[in-house]
Amino acid sequence: MAFHFNFREIVTASMVLFAVIDILGSIPIIIGLRNKVGHIQSEKASIVAACIMIAFLFLGEEILHLIGIDVNSFAVAGAFVIFFLALEMVLGISLYKNDEPESASIVPIAFPLIAGAGTLTSLLSLRAEYHVENIIIAILVNIIFVFMVLKSSIKLERKLGKNGLNIIRKVFGVILMAIAVKLFVTNINELFNH
């Protein structure tokens, strides 16, 4: 089996996942959870989220075939989801948000906070364009970052402040929007060329 490691693909996939997971934007929720339940199992949440994402990367396509949807159609739908997530980030509006979870364990943090619908949709959209090994590296890079954020969320909020977090979200929102447009254009062409 030949591996196709590509630094550019790894960086792009990492940035897409970083923007979609939006762990920095979730710091207020994480701190709220920590205050409610006392302790968050950062290691457990990170490992479970990584497992969900990698499993979906491999099984997602099979699930789609069972339903009778091709990856390009899903990627186009994914581009819309990513676009709306980006819109939320740039404009600071809430189009759709999960209700705040009641208890902090694997369920609210690993899923759906980290490996939520947007993340899983993005993974399949990336799968339509990039090599799997590059996406897996991107997942691992993000999970390490997520783990560090979970561990030091209180310090980070103090250091960055509300404005700092907002600036980061807006910058990544614009990047995400551009990626959504590229995903849409690439996969729409594929659909029409079939």
**Integer angstrom CA distances of residue 28 from 16, 21, 34, 90, 126:** 21, 14, 10, 18, 28
9 touches 126 (CB < 8 A):
no
pLDDT at 7: 95
pLDDT at 73: 84
pLDDT at 194: 67
pLDDT at 57: 93
pTM tops 0.75, yes or no: yes
pLDDT at 96: 57
Q: Consecutive 10-residue runs of the chain (194 residues): their mean pLDDT?
A: 87 92 83 78 93 94 87 83 84 66 66 83 88 96 96 86 83 85 86 78
82 touches 38 (CB < 8 A):
no
Q: Which tokens is 80 given?
A: 């819309």
Domain extents for the chain?
A: 7-193
